[in-house]
């Protein structure tokens, strides 16, 4: 292989991984010297045992600034001194947005495979327009992965969220900023997720998915956004399509649009990576068309251009 040059910055976050690790959040708060955390969590996690000054359960997808304002008011009203966020990428996004305003330390407990907890990427929506920024200061300082919390994730969300993680890894593999570190993480993710998705019955396969999600998030953190993520972002923003579902529909097509996909195929243990990925998604009942996500037929030149070349051969 041809020698390449690269730069690498490792994330300084503290990662705690295991089953039942939610119980360690009070210890982690003590490490931070926090006594009044604001808990960001939906009703599902309301009785999580985290001693919080207040709870805000209103996180929604794509981090609308109005929701951040509401959470910020609760944070200030209760004199909170840190943030504990339990939930998927939407809750993590709100935590990061709050951190951007308050500089409060964050403990994020992810319950999906979005990977946002280990990226400095902050996506926000104002007046229906989503913008994305990279802000090192919003990177959560502590991430507590508790595999037990992911066991309630419905199969449909498990599939789309895991494919979202796979997209981070595949994009890192093809990125101009790829390095031996991102390659190693990406290949692990690509080798693990399709296999683990076929057997969700054990805590071990859930643990494999969650570990892969962590590494995939690190992949996303380490490279700039590529064509697949940009396309998902454009379509998701313009047509309000759900995030991980959009990734799931487009990933086999984005992959097929790459010249050679041999590396991905080898990591997956198949010969035709885009075809195998498409088959896996449809066998697991995942979405395979944008129409089923509520997108109308492409109506403008931008979409025609974006769409051409994205269909598998």
Q: Tell which one of 95, 112, 142, 192 touches ligand NAD (CB under 6 A).
A: 112
The contacts of residue 202 (CB under 8 Å, 6+ apart) are none
Tokens at 268, concatenated: 């997956």
Residues 48-77 that bind ligand NAD (CB under 6 A): 61-62
Q: Which candidate, 255, 283, 249, places its Cα nearest to that of 190? A: 255
Stretch that binds ligand NAD, among 5-13, 144-152, 169-177, 200-208 (CB under 6 A): 144-152
Are 212 and 165 contacting, i.e. CB atoms less than 8 angstroms apart? yes
Q: How far is the CB of 260 from ligand NAD (least distance, A)?
A: 27
Separation between Cα atoms, residue 228 and residue 191, nearest integer Å: 20
The dihedrals phi and psi of 132, each to the nearest 5 degrees, come to: -130, 130
Rounded to 10 deg, the angle between the 155-173 and 243-256 helix axes is 40
Is residue 106 close enough to count as binding ligand NAD by CB under 6 A?
Answer: no
Q: Which candidate, 294, 310, 188, 191, places its Cα nearest to that of 236? A: 294
Q: How far is the CB of 99 from ligand NAD (least distance, A)?
A: 12
Whichever of 68 and 161 has its CB closer to ligand NAD, that residue is: 161
Residues 224-283 that bind ligand NAD (CB under 6 A): 243-244
Are 166 and 273 contacting, i.e. CB atoms less than 8 angstroms apart? no
Is residue 119 close enough to count as binding ligand NAD by CB under 6 A?
Answer: yes
Q: Tell which one of 25, 64, 82, 88 touches ligand NAD (CB under 6 A).
A: 88
Q: Which candidate, 94, 245, 199, places its Cα nearest to that of 207? A: 199
Is residue 157 close enough to count as binding ligand NAD by CB under 6 A?
Answer: yes
Stretch that binds ligand NAD, among 70-78, 85-93, 248-256, 279-287 (CB under 6 A): 85-93
Is residue 21 close enough to count as binding ligand NAD by CB under 6 A?
Answer: no
Separation between Cα atoms, residue 257 and residue 253, nearest integer Å: 6
Stretch that binds ligand NAD, among 15-23, 30-38, 111-119, 173-181 (CB under 6 A): 111-119
Q: Residue 236: in which H helix or E strand, if any? A: helix 227-239
- Binding residues for ligand NAD, rule: CB under 6 A, are 42, 61-62, 87-91, 93, 111-112, 114-116, 119, 121, 123, 149-150, 152-153, 157, 161, 164, 220, 243-244
């Amino acid at each position: 292989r041809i020698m390449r040059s690269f730069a690498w910055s490792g994330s300084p976050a503290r990662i705690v991984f295991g089953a039942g690790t939610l119980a360690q959040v009070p210890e982690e708060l003590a490490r931070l010297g926090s006594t009044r955390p604001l808990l960001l969590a939906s009703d599902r996690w309301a009785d999580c045992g985290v001693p919080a000054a207040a709870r805000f359960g209103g996180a929604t997808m794509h981090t609308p600034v109005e929701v951040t304002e509401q959470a910020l008011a609760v944070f200030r009203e209760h004199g909170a001194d840190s943030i504990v966020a339990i939930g998927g990428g939407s809750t993590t996004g709100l935590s990061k947005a709050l951190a951007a305003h308050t500089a409060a330390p964050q403990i994020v407990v992810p319950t999906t495979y979005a990977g946002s907890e280990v990226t400095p990427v902050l996506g926000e929506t104002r007046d229906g327009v989503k913008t994305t920024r990279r802000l090192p200061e919003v990177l959560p300082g502590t991430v507590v992965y508790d595999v037990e919390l992911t066991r309630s994730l419905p199969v449909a969300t498990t599939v789309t969220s895991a494919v979202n993680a796979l997209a981070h890894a595949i994009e890192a593999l093809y990125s101009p900023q790829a390095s031996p570190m991102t390659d190693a993480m990406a290949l692990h993710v690509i080798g693990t997720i399709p296999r683990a998705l076929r057997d969700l019955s054990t805590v071990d396969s859930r643990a494999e998915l969650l570990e892969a999600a962590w590494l995939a998030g690190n992949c996303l953190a380490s490279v700039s956004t590529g064509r697949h993520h940009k396309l998902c972002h454009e379509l998701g923003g313009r047509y309000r399509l759900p995030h991980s579902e959009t990734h799931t529909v487009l990933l086999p097509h984005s992959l097929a649009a790459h010249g050679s996909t041999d590396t991905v195929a080898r990591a997956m243990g198949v010969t035709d990576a885009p075809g195998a990925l498409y088959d896996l998604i449809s066998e697991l009942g995942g979405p395979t068309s944008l129409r089923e996500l509520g997108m109308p037929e492409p109506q403008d030149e931008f979409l025609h251009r974006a769409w051409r070349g994205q269909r598998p051969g």
